[in-house]
Amino acid sequence: MSGAKVPDLTALNLPTIADILILSEVRRGHPTIEAAANAINRPIRWVHVSEVADIAHLLRGGELILSTGVALPNTDDGLTRFISDLADARATGVVIELGRRFSTLPTALVQSAEAHSLPLIALHNEVPFVAITEAIHSIIVNAQIRQLQFGEVVHRTFHSLAAEGATLQNIIDQIAHLADCPAVFENVAHHVLAFAGATTDNPEIIDDWEQRSRKAAWADQTSFIDGEHWIATPVGARGQVWGRLILFPAPPLRPLQQTILELGATTLALNLLIEREENLLEHQTHRTLISDIIEHHYSSQDEIHTRAQSLGVTTRRQLLVAMIVLSDRGAPLSDITRHARAREEATAVSRALADADAIGLVGLIEPGRLGLLLSAPTDARMNSLLKAVATAIHERANQLTPVGSTVIGVGSPVKSIDDLHHSFADANQAAEAAENLPGDHLFVTTAEIRLRGLVHLMRDDPRIQNYAVRELGALVTYDERYHTDLIATLRAYLEAGGNKSTAAATMFMNRATFYHRLSKIEKILDCDLQSVESRSSLYVALIVHQSLDTQGHKHRRPPRGPSSPSGKA
């Protein structure tokens, strides 16, 4: 959801004494601050014109009192008590017009106002109080109207977020936008799942997050955390707490910011109820971070270091390695089933990391393809970590139903965040090539891809498919037409390095029959199998042919070549 157009939150504030002192209606009285100048930023809720000394019991707090002073007490004690009563009633301040009763304000009045931090203003010229009250009340009423309008925008925004099934990040973005301050959503492990309101090139809001968050006690309701100047509220439903939402408002806290915090927490709770499983939230955050690394969507390496650290993963001054896990569970699945299976696999890989006593990022790139980022201080530690993690992933994958197949590609180790997208690219290539490599592999690196893996990576390129057609098309057509298996004969011969006796034994065939078949192949393909170049070219074509078949590309297998001569091998 795009950011709703909302009024400036600072414009929703009630006017302060400092604000009204610059109004033309007040300036005509030549106002001077006689006491408590440090408290003139208090908001004015209403204005009362009063010429009685016992007005305090009628006040509700936040009022500015206007008076000529004609009815004020005649004694110092009375004046002191007048001020203390107003302070106890939480009045905002007192404005006294000189001339009717006082030429200068009494010392007792001034001292008492200073002692109680109650702003005391003197007007040295006569002004109509009605003009002052109308001007101030107009500002107050307009602020209240804007506040009501803003409240409607807030409720409408959160309703839309819930109705549209907004993502976690969308919700946090809107909370920060509406509250006009940074917002953080953390889980119960003190890991940041989403944050907004800090610029991407200046994410210090989550620096040392886990340590700071642990010092801030949790509460079962909205609470203020003085040390960090946070306001926080728990996020959860049905008796479960999944995390807490935190705002970083500039003082003073505005009432609507607390409303935004609590409505935001409710919207998050609805979002999490839909997601159902708490660990999927962290996967979502990990996935976003991995995606940003791969696509280079970050402003600085420090940003990635900070975001990773907030998730409990140290990347600064570490050796970094990307992993790609590819899963194939057999028969095609519906979209809903496919995404549900992808979530199961993401959870299984996360648990595998815990099994291996490792900490890393795990993100679902797409169904059937997971990305991991591991960090370690040394090469030796990384090597042992890769083996332990890969072993645990295979063990966890084998517990899923149906079991299917799982391959793991490992990228090149790097020391810079900027080089990580190369490591992910290497891991992706290695994982795809691993699907077509012979034998079982704990994991595959680009160094192990070699020819078979390289061909597998290029299998969808029309040029290499056409190459296979040119080299093997006639033999494929012959086998299909006459129900022979000359392709297998050719493969055995080439894999035996051109040794006919060894190849014949592999095929459980006497040498004469095997030689006859080789002669038939030479005739069909019009080639010389004694030629090293011919054998090399045919071997590459066979790998292409096998790669297309084993990957379910039979509908794109090399088309039949020209008609073969009659007769069977």
DSSP code string of 447-460: GGTHHHHHHHHTTT
Has residue 149 got a pLDDT over 80? no
Token pair belonging to 546: 């096998």
Does residue 10 register a pLDDT over 50?
Answer: no
Domain end (from 221, 250, 276): 276
- Within this chain, do residues 475 and 426 fall inside the same structural domain, yes or no? no
Which pLDDT value is given to residue 336? 59
**CATH code assigned at 345:** 3.30.70.270
Give the separation between CA 320 and CA 370, rounded to whole angstroms.
17
Please indicate, yes or no, whether residues 469 and 439 belong to a single structural domain of this protein.
Answer: no
Model confidence at 340: pLDDT above 90: no
Q: What's the number of domains the chain is made of?
A: 4
Whether 152 maps to a domain, the answer reads no
- C-alpha 483/C-alpha 479 separation (Å) is 5
pLDDT given at position 431: 87
Q: What is the average pLDDT across 158-184?
A: 82
3-state secondary structure 82-132: HHHHHHHCCCCEEEEECCCCCCCCCHHHHHHHHHCCCCEEEECCCCCHHHH
Is 254 within the bounds of a domain?
yes
For residue 185, being part of any structural domain is answered with: yes
Residue 291 lies in a domain: no
- Are 241 and 319 in a shared domain? no
pLDDT digits (tens, 9 = 90+) for 192-228: 888 888 654 445 778 888 888 888 888 888 888 877 7
Give the separation between CA 91 and CA 113, rounded to whole angstroms. 11
Please report which confidence band the pLDDT of residue 275 belongs to, taking 50, 70 and 90 as the band edges. low
Report the pLDDT averaged over residues 360-375.
90
Answer whether 39's CB lies under 8 Å from 204's CB. no
Q: Does the CA dihedral 307-312-315-317 come out positive or negative? A: positive
pLDDT (mean) for 418-432: 89
- In b/e form, how buried is each residue of 391-415, taking b as 16+ CB within 10 angstroms? ebbbebbeebeeebebbbbbbbbbe
535-560: average pLDDT: 63
pLDDT for the residue numbered 262: 87
User: Is 130 found in the same domain as 84?
Assistant: yes
pTM: 0.48
**Confidence at residue 179, expressed as pLDDT on a 0 to 100 scale:** 85
pLDDT digits (tens, 9 = 90+) for 436-471: 666 678 998 877 776 665 666 676 778 888 888 888
Angle of the 486-495 helix axis to the 511-525 helix axis, nearest 10:
100
Q: Which of 109-118, 154-163, 330-339, 340-349 has the lowest mean pLDDT?
A: 330-339
In terms of domains, do 318 and 450 share one? yes
H-helix segments, 331-459:
335-355, 379-397, 420-434, 450-457
pLDDT score recorded for residue 558? 35
Is residue 132 domain-shared with residue 110, that is, in the same domain?
A: yes
The domain that holds 539 is classified in CATH as 1.10.10
3-state SS assignment for residue 263: helix
What would the pLDDT profile of 44-69 be if each residue is shown by its tens digit? Answer: 888 989 888 888 888 888 899 999 99
Residue 9 has pLDDT above 50, yes or no: no
pLDDT band at residue 76 using 50, 70 and 90 as cut-offs:
very high
332 — pLDDT class (breaks 50, 70, 90): low
437 lies in the same domain as 475: no
**pLDDT in the model for residue 463:** 84
Task: Please compute the mean of the pLDDT values over residues 422-433 and round it to a whole number.
Answer: 87
Q: DSSP readout, 198-213?
A: S-TT--GGGTTHHHHH
Q: Is residue 559 over pLDDT 80?
A: no
At residue 201, the pLDDT reads: 44
Average pLDDT, the chain: 83
The reply to whether 75 and 184 lie within a common domain is no
More confident residue, 165 or 110: 110
Question: Which token pair is 251?
Answer: 């003082």
User: Quick one: 450 and 316 in the same domain?
Assistant: yes
**404 confidence band (pLDDT: 50, 70, 90):** confident
Read off the pLDDT of each residue in 135-156 and give the average, rounded to a whole number: 75
Distance (Å, whole) CA 294 – CA 423: 9
Is residue 150 domain-resident? no
Of 120, 229, 277, 248, nearest in space to 172 by CA: 248
For residue 557, the model assigns a pLDDT of 34
For the chain, what percent of residues have pLDDT higher than 70? Answer: 84
pLDDT at residue 148, rounded to an integer: 67
Question: Given a cut of 70, is residue 548 above it in pLDDT?
Answer: no
Q: Is 24 helix (H, G, I), strand (E, B) or coil?
A: helix
Mean pLDDT, rounded, for 302-323? 92
Looking at the structure, do residues 174 and 250 belong to the same domain, yes or no?
A: yes
Enter the tokens of residue 400: 């899923």
Instruction: Quote the pLDDT of residue 278.
Output: 47
Residue 378 or residue 448, greater confidence: 378
Contact residues for 468 (Cβ-Cβ < 8 A; gap 6+) = 541, 544, 545, 548, 558
pLDDT of residue 43: 87
Q: Are residue 332 and residue 240 in the same domain, yes or no? A: no
Q: What is the CATH number of the domain that holds 87?
A: 3.40.1390.20
Q: Is 148 part of a structural domain of the chain?
A: no
| CA nearest neighbour of 388 among 409, 358, 415, 414 | 358
Is 62 a domain residue? yes
- Whether 351 and 282 have beta carbons less than 8 Å apart is answered as no
Q: Give the domain extent around 28.
A: 11-137
Is residue 436 within 8 Å of residue 542, measured between CB atoms? Answer: no
Asked if omega into 7 is within 30° of 0 (cis), the reply is no
Mean pLDDT of 377-385: 93
CATH number at residue 230: 3.30.450.40
Residue 295 lies in a domain: no
Question: Residue 12: which pLDDT band, with cuts at 50, 70 and 90?
Answer: very low
- Whether the pLDDT of residue 238 is over 70: the answer is no
Q: Are residues 179 and 84 in the same domain?
A: no
